[in-house]
Structure 1
Amino acid sequence: MKNDFALPQRIGTKQMARISFLAVIGFVLEMINFPLPIFPGFLKFDFSSLPSLIGGMLMGPLPAVFIELIKNLLKVIVQSETIGIGEVSNFICGISLAVPAAVIYRKMKGYKGFIIGGITGVIMLTVVASLSNYFFVIPAYAFAFGGMEAIIGLASKVNGNIHDLKTIIMLAIIPFNIIKGSATVLAGAVIYRHLPIFEKEK
């Protein structure tokens, strides 16, 4: 039985080049980020998970993990403004989107499989981002950058209904990741339609 989580037995230069290239593209996209006015400023929108989503579809779930890992290691080395906390969060969220999508796509080839996999990935991203932010990411930010009250205060400036960690999750983390994940999948769907390597599977 084929193991979808295993890398090919022989990883050629072309395969390694793809993983590295997609990781660098992801790194560049991560650097091109911007806040959305309706969310706290510490939530930055970018398309940095798009390369791992595409890479996962092409090569499998584990290469998608490697793409996310290399991308975030590059970010830590070159420019980390969060002492690594943001990069850990980005890695967790990136693989939670790309890995489920890739698993489903490997079982259900074609555009339909891409869409179903993408929707599943967005759901998983939203769940995992909510849990990781509640139990690790936001508490880590609070410990490193002035306490939980400072984080809550920053968030409440944008949305007055935010008054504690739970409301940050409900009113900021969940909707932000639904929007970001959905935008990434939609962008991936457009690329899918035009990427020659997918043509035989349409």
Structure 2
Amino acid sequence: MGHQQGTIANTQTGKMALKTITKVAVLSAISVIVMLFEIPLPFAPGFYKVDLSEVVVMIGTLAMGVVPGIFIELIKVLLNLLINGTITAGVGELANFVIGCSYIVPAALIYRHRKTLKTAIVGMSVGTVSITIVGALMNLFVLLPAYSALAGMPLDTLVGMGTAVNPAITNVATLVLFATVPFNLLKGVVSSVLVLLLYKRLSPILHR
């Protein structure tokens, strides 16, 4: 009897794992499709474009947990690299993965202890602050220098693109302060609002 129960338990665990993998794969594919639709911003140079793929990743993370969410983020970034390629030779994808995780992980860790609307709002608010800070640091020390070096474009040229849309941008630090920071702050706020609007409708499907 004990052996039979163990077999049944293992079978059920295997089915659950397969369902989780399937959900991760589907959500990763959807997030990549959403990622293809980029929106330019009037206050930032043209290489800053908002996509709403983190909405899909966050919904999956809140529904299934931190680890599946990280895998959705990772697969999304890798698929986008295969589809679009990159001028930053993978450096940008690594940075975007870290930035994406800085948004979903704090939110999921806060939400999992008490799954209520309030903790979801608190979690995504913390995630929005996190993505703003981490995004600024990654752009300042990784993304902008990598883009400049691999594209053969001096940092002053990137700064000049920022100055063209905002005269307050005069160096790399102000480019990050007046373009990167509001970019990631806006992305976090908009993504969080959309998650709040969509999660209740979609979570029953993900919890089946």
TM over 0.5: yes
Question: 1:1-202, aligned counterparts within 5 Å?
Answer: 12-82=17-87, 83-145=89-151, 146-197=153-204
- Kept after mapping to 1: 8 A contact 2:50/2:187: yes
**What secondary structure is seen at the aligned counterpart in 2 of 1:107?**
coil
User: Equivalents in 1 of 2:203, 2:25: separation in Å?
Assistant: 20
Which is helix-richer, 1 or 2?
Answer: 2
Deviation at 1:12, TM superposition (A): 2.2
Q: Over the residues paired in the alignment, what is the CA RMSD in angstroms?
A: 1.9
User: Equivalents in 2 of 1:16, 1:9: separation in Å?
Assistant: 11
Deviations 1:139-173 (A, max 9, x none): 11111121211111111111111111110111011
Runs of 4+ in 1 over 4 A off after TM superposition: 8-11
User: Equivalents in 1 of 2:177, 2:14: separation in Å?
Assistant: 43
User: Which has more radius of gyration?
Assistant: 2
Judging changes above 3 Å, is the alpha-carbon distance between structure 1 residues 94 and 196 closer, same or farther for their aligned structure 2 residues? closer
Report the TM-score, using the length of structure 2 for normalisation: 0.86
Deviations 1:164-187 (A, max 9, x none): 111011101111111011000000
* Structure 1, unpaired ranges of 5+: 1-7
- Letter of the 2:97 counterpart: F
Identity of aligned residues (%): 34
User: Equivalents in 1 of 2:24, 2:146: separation in Å?
Assistant: 30
User: Equivalents in 1 of 2:14, 2:181: separation in Å?
Assistant: 39
User: Equivalents in 2 of 1:193, 1:63: separation in Å?
Assistant: 19
* Structure 2, unpaired ranges of 5+: 1-12
Report the TM-score, using the length of structure 1 for normalisation: 0.89
